[in-house]
Structure 1
Amino acid sequence: MESKIAKAIGLKYNPVAVLLADQKPEKALQFKKGKWGCVMFMFANAARDKTAAFDKETYGCWGGGVGLGFGNAYLQFPGGVECFTYFLSSGNIHSDKGKQVARALEASAGKAFTEDFLEGEGYVKTPELVEQFLDDLPMRKIGSKYLLFKPLPETDPTVETAETVVFVANPDQISALVILANYAREGIENVAIPWAAGCQTIGILPFKEAESASPRAVIGLTDISARKYVRKLLGAEYLSFAMPWKMFLEMEDNVEGSFLERATWRSLQQPES
């Protein structure tokens, strides 16, 4: 499927369809069972013409398992949810349990992760606020064996329907997408920028939005850890813009006659002299 929006805003990379499937496409990229990997690395590859597949044993990391809809994978985090709340915030170094888990991690998880585990990533001020963050995440278990990232041009809506369509967009393009998302709607908050992992902003958060009568788009790649992993593949200037399928079709229908055919937008697409 070709996207009118993608053409109108001049996307460099393919829109990515997030699909549920019971079979894995041939030659799909997939993490090895039990091996760590960043889901957004796979997303970046999908934007660059490849298909990626995930299942309950190959989602890469704990946040990825949550983000893709494989339940509360934080239960499998070293030391459990308790240690995760300290990992994301102030660190496990002051906890006897945390120091014990860290000693076991040194041989298997590597120096960098062990240091983050002990010192904390500092993304949230306190473990209690991390607990609130986890309560707010719309965790779920998808009703299929696989979740796929697939270039949208390689999908056929007559035989497969995406859950979400995700654009990789620069600031000008994000601006256009925000305008288009609000173009034919009441209200001024038809796009959300939640705080979450990169994979969660293209997975469970737009999945949750899809359950609404008037779903919102979700801007992501504000997760700096994810940005580190995709920078070499995509560049430094991009964010993600995820639309539940229903909203994507609505926005596609609104390209013609909109500002995307007017001089101001066209002027932004001209190379700087």
Structure 2
Amino acid sequence: MDKHTLDRLPEFLDILGLDEVPMGVFYTDTKPTDGFSPKPNDLPTRERELANEIDWQGVFGQFSCVLGNIWRARKKKTTAYFSAEQFGCPGGAFWLGFNKPQAETIIHYVSTGIPNWTDGELYCESPDELRRIFEYVDPRPAPKKFCVFKPVDQFLQDEEPELVSFFTRPESLSGLHQLAAFVTNNPEVVASPWGAACGNLVVWPLHYLSRGIDRAVLGGWDPSARKFFKTDELSFTLPLRMFQDMLHRVDASFLKTKTWSTVQKKIARSRKRWGEK
């Protein structure tokens, strides 16, 4: 990542009242030397499912949520990474681009359940509707072996994220949201589509980019992953170019006005209330 962008980051975070560096998201063939990742497991592909080769009890027994690994990485200010062997969660394997199409067992589990085996999560009305949604989202196949989440201030000069993910509460989020519109002049620049929490961090932003649309994605709505967010916290993921534009245009925006200084006071009260300052 270029030095000019990183040099502007501390002031940007300070103005927004953020004490956590955002995560950069990228794919690489180089395995990170440290950080958090799930234990290796056999990928539950549709082909293996049809051949009755999947030990589903083993898959669920080694379940490790993508957001759980990112949560631990956030607390330690380090990396979280995933691959087709270290996916942790069958849903995460799909949303990160390591397994497509999704196994029918998971489609039924996320929707209505499987009689005489498990209740469903009831996140979608029916398997047919969920299958239709998955076909529409159509995650990009992982272009390289590892999907990596790393604090952007730890990127080397020859490294560059595709996406940048913030984790924040609504007051600071309001600044990110409005600034995204300011730099793009697009009143619909922020979207908040349905999906797993990891899907809103990766697949949905890439889905829009693949269609030539610069769009930020608001996430964190997945009830199954809420335990890996701070109370009242959401995610805000945007393409690298939009992130860079936002950093470089702060001085010309509302973030330098008295209106925003009022919000900053509320941010300070919120952080004090949550014991963060």
SS in 2 for 1:131: helix
> Which residue of structure 2 aligns with residue 78 of structure 1?
none
> Which residue of structure 2 aligns with residue 112 of structure 1?
none
Native 8 Å contact 1:19 1:164 kept in 2 = yes
Q: Gaps spanning 5+ residues in structure 1: where?
A: 76-80, 94-98, 103-117
Match of 1:65 among 83, 93, 103: 93
> Which residue of structure 1 aligns with residue 50 of structure 2?
none
> Which residue of structure 2 aligns with residue 211 of structure 1?
210
Take 1:245 and 1:262, find their aligned partners in 2: how far apart are those partners?
A: 26
* Pairing 1:91–2:119 present: no
> Which residue of structure 1 aligns with residue 19 of structure 2?
12
> Which residue of structure 2 aligns with residue 177 of structure 1?
176
**Number of aligned residues:** 240
- CA change 1:174–1:16 in 2 (3 A) is same
Take 2:20 and 2:95, find their aligned partners in 1: how far apart are those partners?
A: 22
Give the letter for the 1:189 counterpart.
Answer: E
> Which residue of structure 1 aligns with residue 192 of structure 2?
193
SS in 2 for 1:225: helix
> Which residue of structure 1 aligns with residue 52 of structure 2?
none
- CA change 1:149–1:73 in 2 (3 A) is farther
> Which residue of structure 1 aligns with residue 48 of structure 2?
none
TM-score by length of 1: 0.82
Take 1:191 and 1:254, find their aligned partners in 2: how far apart are those partners?
A: 18
TM-score by length of 2: 0.81
Q: Which runs of 4+ in 1 moved over 6 A?
A: none
Take 1:25 and 1:88, find their aligned partners in 2: how far apart are those partners?
A: 31
Take 1:44 and 1:5, find their aligned partners in 2: how far apart are those partners?
A: 22
Native 8 Å contact 2:70 2:149 kept in 1 = yes
* Pairing 1:36–2:58 present: no
Take 1:71 and 1:85, find their aligned partners in 2: how far apart are those partners?
A: 13
Taking only aligned residues, the RMSD between alpha carbons, in angstroms, comes to 1.9
Q: Gaps spanning 5+ residues in structure 2: where?
A: 1-5, 42-61, 273-277
Q: Percent identity?
A: 30
Native 8 Å contact 1:90 1:126 kept in 2 = yes
